[in-house]
Amino acid sequence: MNTDKNTFKENIRLRLKRRYGKDLSEATKHDIYDAVAASAMEYILDNWMATRRAFDNHPIKQMYYFSAEFLMGRAMTNNLINLGILPMVQEVLQELGYEYDEIEEQEPDAGLGNGGLGRLAACFLDSLATMNLPGHGYGIRYRYGMFEQKIEHCRQVEKPDNWLEHRNPWEIKRSDHAVDVKFGGEVVIKVDEKGRQYFDVDRAEVVRAIPYDMPIVGYNTKTVNTLRLWEAYSPDGFNLQLFNEMQYLRAVEKACQAEDISRVLYPNDSGPSGKALRLKQQYFFVSASLQDIVRSFKRKYGNDFSKLPDLVVIQLNDTHPVVAIPELMRILMDQEGLGWEEAWAITTRIFAYTNHTIMAEALEKWPIDLFSGLLPRIYTIVEEIDRRHTDELRKLYPNDWDKQQRMAIINHGMIHMAHLAIVGSFSVNGVAALHTEILKKRELKDWYEWRPQIFNNKTNGVTQRRWLKLCNPGLSALITEAIGPGWETDLARLRELEPFAEDPAFRERFAQIKHANKVALARYLAKSQGVTLDPSSIYDVQVKRLHEYKRQLLNILHVMYLHNKLADDPTLEMPPQTFIFGAKAASGYRRAKSIISLICAEAARLEADPRVKGRLKVVFAENYRVTLAEKIIPAAEISEQISTAGKEASGTGNMKFMMNGALTLGTLDGANVEIVQEVGRKNAFIFGLTAEEIAAIEATHSYDPKIYLGRNPALARVVHQLIDGTFGHEFQTAFRELYDSLVYGVEGNRPDVYYVLADFDAYVQAHEQALKSYADRDWWNRAAIINVARSGIFSTDRTIAEYVQDIWHIKPIAVK
């Protein structure tokens, strides 16, 4: 340890000198962070190279996870934990006169994702490396990640996320692996030296893709996998002629346009974008990644592409990377000279597709004109895939013209990416049991009947290395003390905690840790945004993207209901509660932004009301992101998972809360169903319409929210407060729009499409039950411990093991 410490310290000193020309006394905290990261990289690099060597020496199958998003968060503490040197580094920093925490705070989040989908990709990479599996990520190195959110006068304001302002010490630029990606141009037929005809594209715009590699460090193992992110670069620089004519802006315009491709993440969660730049991003990273994979295959195995499916499998994270299917066809046919049948047989053994959403409006489709203009050769390949596919459908369903239409890849002038994904993949999976069932029975019914054998479920998970060990060191230490180490790589072992739920001394220590986490969160939010939280109040938390289907509106309407109740009768007995929200709204999603304003306006109204002082509080935690989740979730007592049943594919926030001993207050939606299966209905607070009940209502168009308003005067009052001046004039229009959407329906939509009012009563009762249960502290702590103890199956280690067994068929490898 001491030699390690001295070496590490020496590395810090060297780094400060070489990069900053400073000694320790002159270094800023950021310099120190950078130097610690660089010193940690010294450990990582040897293992990284050894891992690459091991894979080079053994011809084994590799899995590549294609994802437009990787929501990595910070790397430092995660890497130090996985390397097993966190305590050593903490000591080193202490000896240098720094608190570890203040150095940790210097690192910006790698926020290259919107929410659950991107975070899942990040958790998968952690599990793959920890399980010594050859699995790597391919994506985009966005210059600006998820926007930074500020709240100003109760409104969301977006600021650019300049996460690369200082150099990123966790990446290595690999210019030697750059590849070119072509856009536009004209498809032409050429003849090669053997007289064979092939397709090419002339006069295309060429964009260079430069890879940056980030190491993915396995926990307590030598395996270091790779996340390869592509940056767009214009090889042309600027137009010298225009420059000489002194037209400087026009001279660099084309280069800027090329480099726009990796400029910014689309801040859109399960919504349509349909923008040309988005399609460019998708093709850019997919084409670069496939060229990279094929090149490395040829280098190792030569030109026998029939072996490709035995050595490469690619998981498509939603439809964003699905253009990979025709792109691999292009590479195999136009560049490698294979015929269609041969190329198709190979391609359809390589791709597996994960569906992430049930929301029809989120299913990606591209207008033919846009697609064929940007990717002319790819379009002709999609047309041919579609032609052959619809031929098959005609034979299978000769009398069902409707079905042939519904299942076409190209129809009504659009290319349906989910259809292309299913036709070109050997596996289609949903992300929770309920979600997969809904896909099979409803959304993808035709497709399931067509090829039932390719459909399967893979319930999501989260990595316990980040979502327990890193974010909750107090609870982690208690767990290890109780059941010993090992749960870090075998989360099912948490079951051994269960007997401790009956031990009053253990329960007391568990409760003390939760309280300490609540105090720590209060301190953090006081410092970061100047709010005061009462750690003796109940922390009730809903943190996730702002979306109508997630129903933050239901939550805040309930707070308004409690506010009225307490204001009417200040003698009412009610334990103090803090409702914590955190959510970003997509920049163009007006109603979502109105809901944020309502939450903040109600927070201010509570603050100004002496009748509720100290008893009810709303806190909107600004700029929700991985790093903030790591601080909030360990402090939570109630986990709000209240999406309209049938709408949330899985959710993973729900699993993080459970793992940290919060009780779920939620609907039977997504993975909540499986959480309740584990803990039992009595250790959660389940309410509301089920997915089946909602489907039945939808089938008959029988929902009328006014019935619920008529039946429940307290609810009618709350809803009316949106428009009666309660919140003043500033948000009159915005809140009127919320009101109208609930009561009348706007823009041709039915009213209250997410059943907020239908579920309100049940939601109130669930909260009342939760408060009653909370009063019995022994019961509550027992239930919280049971939640932790039974969270084992929600580790991504379990999810990954299932992908390996059913889809990828890859094997672990020992790194020497």
257: Cβ contacts below 8 Å, ≥ 6 apart: none
677: Cβ contacts below 8 Å, ≥ 6 apart: none
Structural contact between residues 228 and 289, judged by C-beta atoms closer than 8 angstroms: yes
Per-residue contact track with ligand PLP, 468 to 507, x per CB under 6 A?
Answer: ----------------------------------------
* Token code pair at residue 443: 């959304």
Task: State yes or no: residue 356 binds ligand PLP (CB under 6 A).
Answer: no
Task: State yes or no: residue 267 binds ligand PLP (CB under 6 A).
Answer: no
Dist. CA 802–CA 29, nearest whole Å: 43
- Give residue 30's identity as a one-letter amino acid code: H
Scan residues 599-628 and list those touching ligand PLP (CB under 6 A): 625-626
* Closest alpha carbon to 550 in 357, 706, 370: 357
Work out how close the CB of 636 gets to ligand PLP at its nearest, in angstroms, rounded to a whole number. 12
- In terms of CB distance, is 376 or 666 closer to ligand PLP? 666
Catalytic residue set: 356, 544-545, 550, 652, 656
- In terms of CB distance, is 71 or 324 closer to ligand PLP? 71
Nearest-CB residue for ligand PLP: 653
- In terms of CB distance, is 113 or 211 closer to ligand PLP? 113
Dist. CA 284–CA 267, nearest whole Å: 18
Length of the chain counted residue by residue: 816
* Token code pair at residue 568: 């009417």
713-720 and 732-743 helices, crossing angle to 10°? 140
Size of interface with ligand PLP, in residues (CB under 6 A): 12
- In terms of CB distance, is 659 or 783 closer to ligand PLP? 659
Work out how close the CB of 545 gets to ligand PLP at its nearest, in angstroms, rounded to a whole number. 6
Q: Tell me how crowded residue 56 is: count the other CB atoms within 10 A of its CB.
A: 11
280: Cβ contacts below 8 Å, ≥ 6 apart: 183, 261, 374
Task: State yes or no: residue 74 binds ligand PLP (CB under 6 A).
Answer: no
- In terms of CB distance, is 116 or 145 closer to ligand PLP? 116
Task: State yes or no: residue 767 binds ligand PLP (CB under 6 A).
Answer: no
- In terms of CB distance, is 257 or 268 closer to ligand PLP? 268
- In terms of CB distance, is 119 or 280 closer to ligand PLP? 119
Task: State yes or no: residue 584 binds ligand PLP (CB under 6 A).
Answer: no
Task: State yes or no: residue 326 binds ligand PLP (CB under 6 A).
Answer: no
Where do the DSSP E strands lie in 254-350? 312-317
Of 224-232, 406-414, 444-452, 646-654, which segment contacts ligand PLP by CB under 6 A? 646-654
Work out how close the CB of 790 gets to ligand PLP at its nearest, in angstroms, rounded to a whole number. 19
Structural contact between residues 307 and 332, judged by C-beta atoms closer than 8 angstroms: no
Scan residues 114-153 and list those touching ligand PLP (CB under 6 A): 115-116, 119
Structural contact between residues 658 and 671, judged by C-beta atoms closer than 8 angstroms: no
- In terms of CB distance, is 112 or 694 closer to ligand PLP? 112
Work out how close the CB of 586 gets to ligand PLP at its nearest, in angstroms, rounded to a whole number. 13
Structural contact between residues 788 and 106, judged by C-beta atoms closer than 8 angstroms: no
Of 113-121, 381-389, 438-446, 661-669, which segment contacts ligand PLP by CB under 6 A? 113-121
Work out how close the CB of 652 gets to ligand PLP at its nearest, in angstroms, rounded to a whole number. 4
Residue 374 parent element (H or E): helix 368-374
Task: State yes or no: residue 629 binds ligand PLP (CB under 6 A).
Answer: yes
Structural contact between residues 134 and 223, judged by C-beta atoms closer than 8 angstroms: no
Task: State yes or no: residue 683 binds ligand PLP (CB under 6 A).
Answer: no
Scan residues 527-546 and list those touching ligand PLP (CB under 6 A): 544-545
> What is the DSSP code string of 565-585?
HHHH-TT-----EEEEEE---
- Give residue 525's identity as a one-letter amino acid code: L
Task: State yes or no: residue 647 binds ligand PLP (CB under 6 A).
Answer: no
* Token code pair at residue 652: 């993973």
Q: Which residues bind ligand PLP (CB under 6 A)?
A: 115-116, 119, 544-545, 625-626, 629, 651-653, 656
